[in-house]
Amino acid sequence: MIPERIRPTLEVVRPVAERFAAEGHSLYLVGGIVRDLLAGRPLDDADIDLTTDALPGTIKSIVGPWADAMWTQGERFGTIGVKIGGRELEITTHRGEAYSPDSRKPDVTFSDNIEIDLSRRDFTVNAMALRLPDPELVDPYDGFGDLTSGRLRTPLAPAESFSDDPLRMMRAARFIAGYGLEPDRDLVRTAAELEDRLSIVSAERIRDELDKLLVVDDPTAGLWFLVDTGLADEFLPELPAMRLEQDPIHHHKDVLAHTIAVTAKTEPDRIVRLSALLHDVGKPKTRAIGPKGVSFHHHEMVGARMAHDRMQALRYSKDDIKDVTKLVRLHLRFHTYQMGWTDSAVRRFVRDAGDLRDELIELTRCDCTTRNEKKARALSRRMDELVERIAELEAAEEIASIRPDLDGDQIMAHLDIGPGKAVGEALDLLLEARLEEGPLGAEEAYRRLDTWWAEREA
């Protein structure tokens, strides 16, 4: 009995499968859609990946004449893309590839055997196929058994699978966390032994895999896998570096455990989760022990620079780097207002956070991992107070776009001066007054400008 939720996909691929069968070729549905079908996960907009014993040229001749569109950029790897009935499909010749030891790309060989193709997949839960057009499960490596028992294994020996594509070791973290799978002991041991093989994987591929892990509902188990196997040392050494040696006298929180807990608490937004993962990376470099215990003075500033450098090495975009480093730099800003939220404090918080205000509030809320319920409630109340104060001021002022009451042109015209340092100083003066007191109005702004200018000239 085929579940109803797979039928729309089967109706899309049935005409394709029938055409392949008419030409004497087999066709199988493979990949994540099969895994998620069996795991009971949503299939909306899932990629439709198919594999066949037909070679790329034959695939084109079968589907090309009636497909809505066809693209062949992946032909050298055996993949032909088509669009049929509004859905995109990728059809790939059975593979038997192996990677050369120092290469980032596979040496592709084709096969006419579905079991050989499935053996080259990363994990058994991904090494299942549905034979088409009348669906029949092909599962030579007991992927369904592993999925139902919560086990993560590789179809071949882990050493062979991970040597073929070392990124699979990182991908294991995502499946451990995202599907609640317990990694096979041999898989863990092999990952620890081969962690330096990640050096042949491009920074871009590592970055993309890290992003995918971070946005699963709870990345905790996957992050610990990366640290415990040593994989994180290869691409994000700042993470295991937070596993600081605990001082038996000057007790302090385990920074690594705290970091992973904060990351898991945040909403699964990529930028917020990256910021949570990196928000305390400056602590090891700033750790000091004094009369009052352990301190990490200015770790947010040091951490912002470290986050910038690491994200640059992982080839993140300039916008991603700018946003994450800003959140890391500001993640303690909330705690600088110990005496309550004055109008001035609220304006400064909003001005500094800019369009990352919601993300900063989310990070700050989740940065509280204390087990002391009284302290946690107090922090939550203060955060609620801030949100309320922002809403109140937004109703009275346009605090999201705080600017001086006069612009540069008005200042130059009033003082009869040209562009230069004095204009910037005047703008800073008026912005500071705006932050402290709220809108001044043009008349008062000109009065203060005149007073400042007279004192400056004198």
Cβ atoms of 330 and 355 within 8 Å: the answer is no
| E strand or H helix at 214 | helix 203-214
Cβ atoms of 18 and 62 within 8 Å: the answer is no
pLDDT at 247: 46
Q: What is the mean pLDDT of the chain?
A: 88
pTM equals 0.83
212-238 pLDDT, tens digit each: 999 999 999 999 999 999 999 999 999
- Whether residue 104 is predicted with pLDDT greater than 60 in this model: the reply is no
Q: What's the pLDDT band for 414 if we cut at 50, 70, 90?
A: confident
- Whether residue 423 is predicted with pLDDT greater than 90 in this model: the reply is no
CA-to-CA separations, 437 to 219, 299, 432, in angstroms, rounded? 44, 31, 9
Cβ atoms of 43 and 29 within 8 Å: the answer is no
| E strand or H helix at 48 | strand 48-52
Task: Over range 315-338, report the average pLDDT.
Answer: 92
pLDDT at 249: 42
58-99 pLDDT, tens digit each: 999 999 898 899 999 999 989 999 998 888 999 999 988 666
- Whether residue 248 is predicted with pLDDT greater than 60 in this model: the reply is no
- Whether residue 425 is predicted with pLDDT greater than 90 in this model: the reply is no
Alpha-carbon distance of 458 to 171, in angstroms, equals: 68
pLDDT at 245: 52
391-402 pLDDT, tens digit each: 877 776 666 667
pLDDT at 377: 84
CB neighbour list of residue 405: distance below 8 Å, 6 or more residues apart: 430, 433, 434, 439, 440, 441, 442, 444, 445
Q: What's the pLDDT band for 2 if we cut at 50, 70, 90?
A: low
Q: What's the pLDDT band for 167 if we cut at 50, 70, 90?
A: very high
CB neighbour list of residue 69: distance below 8 Å, 6 or more residues apart: 82, 83
Cβ atoms of 117 and 94 within 8 Å: the answer is yes
- Whether residue 251 is predicted with pLDDT greater than 60 in this model: the reply is no
Sign of CA dihedral 31, 33, 36, 40: negative
DSSP string, 61-78: HHHTTT-SEEE-TTGGGT
* DSSP code, position 110: B
Task: Over range 307-334, report the average pLDDT.
Answer: 96
Task: Over range 158-171, report the average pLDDT.
Answer: 95
CA-to-CA separations, 24 to 59, 109, 231, 270, in angstroms, rounded? 12, 21, 45, 46
Give the burial string for 89-103 (b: 16+ CB within 10 Å, else e): bbbbbbbebebeeee
